[in-house]
């Protein structure tokens, strides 16, 4: 594995010393937001994590090498270039063997984070079961990696473009705990409350870290979803945003957009339909998740360090 892997010195040192590290995906940079908002976003996210005492580790594939922790130049290249592959598990070997540039999705980021020993990952929203999946069979790879990778994923719930009840059912089948941070109900990305209950509510980062330690110390394989509601001032009214999502879904169906192109299209279309309001909310929920992820990572590091 080492011949394909480059770990940033700051990340490598933190992992060796059992200090807190937070993994970050790169698809949100290359495919989730326009330039320069995407570059401003990742720089602020990394600064938030550092301010909380943790080390950020943005993950991507550059010239065929898996990078865990990126330089400023690499971040800018990902933000500006239109030649960046979208990397899920099935794309990793191709991208490395063919010396490609690639931005990692939630699933690929989880997989690589586990490879190097990073236990906490901050993102915007996880993927899941798409609406009308009973016809399309469109289910995100994120759910499979959540079932198999020992990584806690902090998100604002599942992306609002998904079928949330089916996503929760799938996670239950796979034995993945959905933890509501200071909430009893699953947040729905742009909105604070989907009306669907989470498995457990925990109100402190330390309590979440203790759950992580208990789960993995017991040999129970798999990750956790830490559902962190978007801050109240940036929450969008559910009826209004759902109307825009339905409109975007209808257009995607008419254009026969499928597979890995679905989510970028829908998010871009929703941004257009909301006149940029959804992008503003997206940014704020990412910052909120980064802060909580760093706090959880710090608490988990304290637990592991106490064990020697």
271: phi > 0 → left, psi -120 to 50 → alpha, else beta; which?
Answer: alpha
CB 39 within 8 A of CB 79: yes
Sequential DSSP letters for 184-201: SB--BTTBS--SPBPSEE
C-alpha–C-alpha distance, residues 266 and 16, integer Å: 40
C-alpha–C-alpha distance, residues 176 and 179, integer Å: 9
Element (H, E) at 65: strand 65-68
Q: How many residues does the chain have?
A: 308
Task: Catalytic residue, from 25, 46, 52, 114: name it.
Answer: 25
| 25 is known as an active-site residue | yes
Task: Catalytic residue, from 86, 119, 159, 260: name it.
Answer: 159
Name beta bridge partners: 308.
none
Sequential DSSP letters for 194-245: -SPBPSEEE-SHHHHHHHHHHHHHTT--S-EEEE-PPPGGGPPPHHHHHHHH
Residues known to be catalytic: 25, 159
């Amino acid at each position: 594995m080492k011949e394909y892997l480059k770990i940033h010195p700051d990340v490598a040192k933190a992992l060796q010393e059992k200090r807190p590290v937070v993994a970050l995906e790169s698809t949100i940079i290359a495919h989730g937001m326009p330039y320069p908002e995407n570059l401003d976003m990742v720089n602020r996210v990394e600064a938030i994590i550092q301010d909380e005492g943790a080390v950020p580790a943005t993950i991507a594939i550059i010239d065929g090498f898996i990078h865990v922790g990126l330089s400023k130049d690499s971040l800018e290249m990902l933000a500006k270039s239109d030649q960046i592959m979208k990397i899920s598990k099935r794309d990793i070997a191709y991208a490395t063997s063919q010396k490609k540039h690639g931005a990692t999705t939630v699933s690929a980021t989880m997989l690589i984070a586990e490879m190097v020993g990073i236990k906490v990952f901050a993102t915007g929203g996880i993927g899941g079961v798409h609406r009308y999946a009973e016809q399309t069979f469109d289910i995100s790879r994120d759910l499979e990696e959540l079932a198999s990778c020992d990584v806690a994923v902090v998100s604002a719930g599942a992306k609002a473009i998904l079928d949330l009840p089916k996503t929760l059912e799938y996670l239950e089948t796979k034995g993945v705990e959905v933890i509501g941070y200071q909430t009893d109900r699953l947040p729905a990305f742009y909105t604070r409350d989907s009306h669907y209950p989470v498995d457990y509510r925990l109100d402190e980062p330390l309590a979440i870290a203790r759950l992580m330690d208990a789960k993995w110390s017991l040999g129970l394989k798999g990750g956790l979803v830490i559902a962190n509601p978007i801050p109240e001032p940036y929450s969008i009214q559910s009826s209004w945003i759902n109307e825009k999502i339905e409109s975007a879904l209808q257009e995607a169906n008419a254009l026969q957009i499928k597979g890995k192109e679905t989510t970028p299209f829908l998010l871009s279309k929703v941004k257009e339909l909301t006149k940029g309001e959804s992008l503003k909310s997206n940014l704020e929920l990412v910052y909120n998740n980064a802060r909580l992820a760093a706090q959880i990572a710090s608490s988990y590091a304290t637990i592991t360090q106490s064990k020697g």
